[in-house]
Amino acid sequence: MEVRGLRALLCVLVVVACSIAFVSASAGVAADVGTQRAALQEAPDGQGETNETPRLGEADQTYIDVYITENGSARVTVDYQFYLSDENRSAEWESLRANISNNTDWYVAEERRSWNETLSKGENATDREMSLSNVSITTETTSRPEEIGHARVSFVWSHFARVQVNRIEAGTALSGFTLTDGTTLQFRWPDEYAVYESEGELAVEPSPEDPPDGSVSWDGEQNFPDDEPRIVLIQNSDTGTEEPQSGEEPSMPWAIVTLALALLATVGVAGWLIGRNRSSGEATADGDETVQRADGAAVSERTVPDGPPPELLSNEERVLRLLEERGGRVKQQEVVSELDWTEAKTSQVVGDLRESDEIEVFRIGRENVLALPEDE
């Protein structure tokens, strides 16, 4: 009996010891899981953002503003907007705002990483080297017309657009970009540029519902195909100090100048005809050149050929005739004055001539200069 009792006692002790060990292990595992959950609540990804705090991608509205500069870079601002409609939403916003303030570098790094992925696709689509710089994030709360929390990410995107003299082509750096519901993409540009227009069609793809006036925007949801979005801008003015010309009829001073030039031209032609009739036939008009041989005989004579009147010429032919009359080179602003055109119309005609390789365009200071191509 004593042996049996001893064996029973040993079995009881073994069972009790195993039970204690199992309970301790279970408690340890539960403690580890609780610690991990607490850590995730206090710092997901190790950055101190609680589960109750909304992320930037959870904004109610997102506005992506892209300001295209003359050198082809873009100043980009991404405005994440949170509508503070109640106390809970306001508390969530204040938590996010505090996290951004305490972990600014982490938010900047995350935004840089995300936009660099888009930039890499843009490099492949355009075959241009690009980079992001001056990435920053700020927060602000506005109350008009309603209370909104703003988390704004800003950066500079180099070589975003393609620049050719007085022409800017932009947008294909975002080729394949996807707009989600509640997201707006907006392009803006300097005042001296306007959207290129050919035969009444604006060079904007996809076409906006309303003609752009200093900016163009697209609202989600939409997925841009290859080579879209795309916009072509043309320079309006080269002077920088003069007031930009509108699309209205020329003012009275220009009309007077044009009338005076026409009168002078008429007097000049009349004087030339009178002089030619009085001469023995050897006199030539202003600008004619006669080359004499050693024995005094004329071997060549260059005169300006007669042509159809200006009203029968196309816009491009009028510019080419003016270039020939000015010796093959003229400032673009002189074309505006001489032909009594608006600067926008002149820029479009010049752009068409340059694309067809009928003229060359280069800059001297802040002005464009047009020239006939040199014979090779």
Assigned token pair, 89: 């939403």
Q: For 366, which DSSP code?
A: T
Summarised one tens digit per residue, pLDDT across range 343-354 is 888 888 888 888
Residue with tokens 């196309």: 314
Q: For 230, which DSSP code?
A: E
pLDDT at residue 251, rounded to an integer: 45
What values do phi and psi take at 166, rounded to 5? -110, 25
Residue with tokens 């106390």: 87
Question: What is the length of the chain?
Answer: 376
Question: How does the average pLDDT of the chain come out, rounded?
Answer: 76
pLDDT at residue 44, rounded to an integer: 43
Task: For the chain, give the percent of residues with pLDDT over 70.
Answer: 70
Rounded to whole angstroms, how far apart are CA atoms 30 and 35?
9
Task: For the chain, give the percent of residues with pLDDT over 90.
Answer: 28
pLDDT at residue 23, rounded to an integer: 42
Its pTM surpasses 0.75: no
Mean pLDDT of 323-334: 88
Rounded to whole angstroms, how far apart are CA atoms 188 and 192?
12
pLDDT at residue 241, rounded to an integer: 34
In the chain, the amino acid numbered 53 is T
pLDDT at residue 136, rounded to an integer: 95
Summarised one tens digit per residue, pLDDT across range 215-241 is 998 887 888 888 888 899 998 854 333
Which comes out higher in pLDDT, residue 293 or 342? 342
Angular region, 201: left φ>0, alpha ψ -120 to 50, beta rest: beta
Classify each residue of 195-220 as buried b or exposed e, where b means 16 or more C-beta atoms within 10 Å of its C-beta.
Answer: bbbeeeebbbbeeeeeebeeebbbee
Mean pLDDT of 254-278: 71
pLDDT at residue 327, rounded to an integer: 87
Q: Inform me whether the pLDDT recorded for 337 exceeds 60.
A: yes
**Residue from 75, 98, 290 nearest 186 by CA:** 75
β-bridge pairing 201-202 and 197-198: antiparallel
Q: How confident is the model at residue 291 (pLDDT cuts 50, 70, 90)?
A: very low
pLDDT at residue 350, rounded to an integer: 87
Which comes out higher in pLDDT, residue 7 or 151? 151
Q: Inform me whether the pLDDT recorded for 295 exceeds 50.
A: no
Helix ranges restricted to H, the chain: 2-42, 87-102, 104-126, 252-278, 315-325, 332-339, 343-355
Contact of 166 with 351, CB cutoff 8 Å: yes
pLDDT at residue 185, rounded to an integer: 92
Which comes out higher in pLDDT, residue 336 or 19? 336
Contact of 197 with 111, CB cutoff 8 Å: no
Q: Inform me whether the pLDDT recorded for 32 exceeds 60.
A: no
Contact of 188 with 106, CB cutoff 8 Å: no
pLDDT at residue 96, rounded to an integer: 93
Q: Inform me whether the pLDDT recorded for 324 exceeds 80.
A: yes
Q: How confident is the model at residue 214 (pLDDT cuts 50, 70, 90)?
A: confident
pLDDT at residue 169, rounded to an integer: 92
Summarised one tens digit per residue, pLDDT across range 44-90 is 444 444 446 778 888 899 999 999 999 999 999 999 999 998 889 89
**3-class DSSP assignment, residue 155:** strand
Query: How many Cβ atoms from other residues are within 10 Å of residue 333's Cβ?
Result: 17
Q: Inform me whether the pLDDT recorded for 255 exceeds 80.
A: no
